[in-house]
Structure 1
Amino acid sequence: MLEIILCSLVTILPDYLYRRYVQGKRLGREITLFSVWYELRFGIITCFMLAVALITMIFYFHPSTTSATLYYRTVPIVPEATGRVAEVHRDFSAPVKKGEVIFKLDSSKQEAALETARRKIAEIDAALLAAQADILKSEGQLQEAKGAYQQASDELETKRELQRRSPGMVPQRDIEKLEVLLAGRQGSVDAATASKQSATIRVTALLPAEKASAQATLAEAQVDLDKTTIRAGFDGRVEQFGLRVGDVVNPMIRSAGILIPEGAGRRALAAGFGQIEGQVMKVGMVAEATCISKPWTIIPMVITSVQDYIAAGQFRGGEQLVDTQQSVRPGTILVLMEPIYQGGLEGVTPGSSCIANAYTSNHDRIASKETGAFKGFALHVVDAVGIVHAMLLRIQALLLPIKTLVLSGH
């Protein structure tokens, strides 16, 4: 309507003034309800064509959308293991800081496993002390075996020397017995040496390995116990947290609640513009927005990101072919807009629906020496008509509470 009024000022109004003051035709006399079309046909047709061109130019170079929302990410509160709730540390809606406990699961099984691992380490420590005593015992047995071996060896050498000096003085049978005895004593020395080595290996290698394994089991049990205490991974707020003691939570099918990060939905506004405006939307464009949760306020913004893909064209590979008729509605170009001034989104509730306008700026092209006079004038016109869309946005912001509260029937 505003575009038609503006166009009529330069088309229908001059045509009427010509008919009135040049041709002498007056309203209600020569120009009536039945003859107005014939008398002002040139102005009406020109107004219609100019209005269509103006509306097309405004909506193309200064696009607008009502599909703008302050999206925010929610994080489900999910434990790593299934369990029954033993303690709840937060209310239905409450702020949380990073590391604070939200709730605890029943940990009797994990505590028993942790205590078993501790007892295993204590058992290995006791076995280590016993093995050290075995080393001392083996050393004593080795010394005893070496002494017996030395005694048998000395006795055999003495009798051999007597046999050499006086043949027949020492019976050959005694010498053979001593040789057999010496071989037996050597076996005792070897057995004592092996026993000492076994005890030493048990102290230096086997038991330390068993202790390290038991300590790893203890650490694993401690981790399982820590998993029963669910803490906040970041600063945020729990909402609609209806968990109660005795509830069973499952990481696969049942979460405990929702955690909303601090500052979520307060950084950027996501807006979807029509596909025909894909060549116009650029990073750095100035934009404006008004939101339902903060009426009568225009928020200056700037486009910081333009998504290169349209969500409606995505598909997930499967056993069926994709039919393009399944896309009932054409997708939009996702654009992220951030407020120009710090705190521009303060007071706007995350998730609020908004209306957004983006404005094309050709200042650099107009200032360029390569731009001709006619083209520069056309670019001036393109930039100037953006004020029409800005006026429409302010009218929408003014009427938004009335439309929502009165005309919608709520």
Structure 2
Amino acid sequence: MDLLLILTYTAFCVAIFKIFKIPLTKWTVPTAILGGIALIGTLLLLMNYNHPYTKFAREYFATTPINSAVRGIVTEVAVKPNQPIKKGDVLFKIDPIPYEAALMQKLAELEEAEQQVPQLEAAFNVSQATVAQAQADKDRAESAYKRYEEGRKKGGSNSPFTELELDNKRQLFYAAQARLEAAKAEQLRTRLAFESNIDGVNTKVASLQAQVDKARFELDMTVVRAPADGIVTQLALRKGAMAVPIPLRPSLSFIPDEERFIAGAFWQNSLLRLKEGDDAEVIFDSVPGVVFKGKVAKVLPAMAEGEIQFGGNLQSSNRLFQRGRALVLIELDENDVVGTLPAGVAGQAAIYTEHFTHVSIIRKVLLRMQGWLNYIFAEGH
């Protein structure tokens, strides 16, 4: 763009010299040259600082790598490349047979566990009856033992109860007492098994229900669907391929429909003038002669050249030599032409600040001249 300004001034001087027949002397030529240096130098300083321009602008877009949540053989690729699709449309399918079998197995285990719940209740009721019976046996054995013991003490050597009979009653009492403790322990075990619940559901049933839900989810994941409205491009997935849930190897790339932003790389000395809301204009190599208007949406607050992360490696001083440029996001006004361009097109951009607004006219003229040059060749090629 600087060259365009110089060439324009040169053409203007040549025309003046020809039209007014000004002689080429040691005074006229240096005056034109020095005047051009002063004029163009001043304009360049004012324009580059107050109305920055960059030939490095590009539309950036985010892609969503599509990975299957389960592993399996691809049985069908339903999506067609480069055609708009809606959220929820089928992208591809994975062989569901292993996951159907796993779901049926978990459903059978869940049914069995649900049938065991009444059995647990019955076992608990039986244990309660057993405890009651053991308690009665213990009370009866204890009563008989105390009666024999009391009769033995009162009768002495004349007691009708022998020492052997008293010992038998004592052992029967101890045995009944042990059976009661065993019955109580069994009652506790069956009660804990029966009353082991989560939100009113038996824990085993709840665990198997969760496994059923997981198996059903995995079965549903054999059908991979679009996460949003968008397109799939450069589709290489084919029937028979092995889809694996590995993030490093997605099955396909999905481009969601999102608002388009243009990123321009501007010199750092322009940061004092740039701010959100400034007017901007963009030209694309793919659309010669057309200028698209927009606004500065955001001046990114960080530059990759200054990034560091923790690790075991020291940072080299060579990184200090990387100057880098500030990234500015430009939001274009609604335009049907922009929507037809491929995502990621390159171009050039200029931003017009509120300072020295009269100089911005020259920047606009030069930007349009650059757009016309794109009919012949694109910048950077």
Q: TM-score, structure 2 length as denominator?
A: 0.77
TM-score scaled by structure 1? 0.73
1:265-344, aligned counterparts within 5 Å? 266-314=259-307, 319=313, 321-324=315-318, 330-340=323-333
| 1:241 to 2:215 alignment | no
The answer as to whether partners of 1:289 and 1:355 remain within 8 angstroms in 2 is yes
Q: Residues 230 and 347 of structure 1: is their aligned pair in 2 closer, same or farther, counting only changes over 3 Å?
A: closer
- Correspondence list, 1:144-183, <5 A: 144-149=133-138, 170-172=160-162, 174=165, 177-183=168-174
Q: Report the alpha carbon displacement of residue 256 of structure 1 after superposing the two structures with TM.
A: 0.8
**In structure 1, distance between residues paired with 2:304 and 2:170:** 97
Q: Which residue of 2 aligns with 1:355?
A: 348
Distance 1:312 1:306 in 2: 16
Partner residue in 2 for 1:131: 120
Matched, 1:198 2:192: no
Q: More deviation in 293-302 or 343-352?
A: 343-352
Aligned partner of 2:361 in structure 1 is 387
Is the 2:86–2:228 Cα contact (8 Å) retained in structure 1? Answer: yes
Match of 2:257 among 251, 257, 262: 262
CA distance in 2, matches of 1:291, 1:226: 44
Report the CA distance between 1:326 and its aligned residue.
9.2
Counterpart position of 1:40: 28
**Greater CA drift, 239-248 or 304-313:** 304-313
8 A contact 1:11–1:46 mirrored in 2: no
Evaluate the alpha carbon distance shift between residue 74 and residue 189 of structure 1 in structure 2; reply closer, same or farther with a 3 A threshold. closer
8 Å CA contact 1:4, 1:47 repeated in 2: no
Alignment match, 1:376: none
Aligned to 2:58: 69
What secondary structure is seen at the aligned counterpart in 1 of 2:110?
helix
Tell me, in whole angstroms, the C-alpha distance in 2 between the residues paired with 1:399 and 1:227: 52
Partner SS, residue 60 of structure 2: coil
The residue type paired with residue 185 of structure 2 is A
Q: How far did 1:81 drift?
A: 4.5
Would the alpha carbon gap of residues 68 and 186 (structure 1) be closer, same or farther in structure 2, given more than 3 Å must change? closer
Computing the radius of gyration from Cα coordinates, the structure with the larger value is 1
- Counterpart of 2:83? 94
Secondary structure at the residue paired with 1:213? Answer: helix
Change (3 A) 1:150 1:287: closer
Could you report, residue by residue, the CA deviation over 1:185-236 in whole angstroms, capped at 9, with x for unpaired residues? Answer: 4444444343333322332239933333333333343444444332222222
SS of residue matched to 1:96: coil
**CA–CA separation in structure 2 for the residues paired with 1:174 and 1:39:** 149
Number of aligned positions between the proteins: 368
Point out where structure 2 has 5 or more consecutive residues left out of the alignment: none
2:371 equivalent in structure 1: 397
Residue 92 of structure 2 is aligned to residue 103 of structure 1: yes
Q: Any idea what SS the aligned residue of 1:281 has?
A: coil
Give the distance between the partners of 2:120 and 2:303, measured in 1 at CA.
72
Amino acid at match of 1:66: K
> Quick one: which of 196, 214, 217 aligns to 2:208?
214
One-letter amino acid of the counterpart of residue 204, structure 1: E
The letter for the 2-side match of 1:269 is: I
Once residues 287 and 112 of structure 1 are traced to their aligned partners in structure 2, the CA distance between those partners, rounded to angstroms, is: 60
Q: Tell me, what secondary structure is at the counterpart of 1:284? A: coil
Summarize the Cα distance change of 1:72–1:252 in structure 2 as closer, same or farther, 3 Å threshold.
closer
CA distance in structure 2 between the aligned counterparts of 1:154 and 1:321, rounded to whole angstroms: 90
More relative contact order in 1 or in 2 (CA 8 Å, sep 6+)? 2
Name the SS for the 1:120 alignment partner.
helix
Residues 294, 176 of structure 1: alpha-carbon distance in 2 compared, 3 angstrom cutoff: same
Structure 1 stretches lacking a partner, 5+ long: 18-25, 363-381
Asked whether 1:56 is paired with 2:51, we answer no
**2-structure distance, mates of 1:219, 1:68:** 49
C-alpha contact 2:84 2:231 (8 A) present in aligned 1: yes
Per the TM alignment, residue 170 of structure 1 is displaced from its structure 2 partner at its CA by 3.5
Q: Using a 3 Å threshold, how does the CA distance of structure 1 residues 271 and 150 change in structure 2: closer, same or farther?
A: closer
8 Å contact from structure 2 (residues 58, 345) kept in 1: yes
Deviation at 1:72, TM superposition (A): 0.8
Q: Is the 8 A contact 2:43 2:359 kept in 1?
A: no
Amino acid at match of 2:328: V
**1:121 and 2:95 equivalent?**
no
Distance 2:250 2:297 in 1: 35
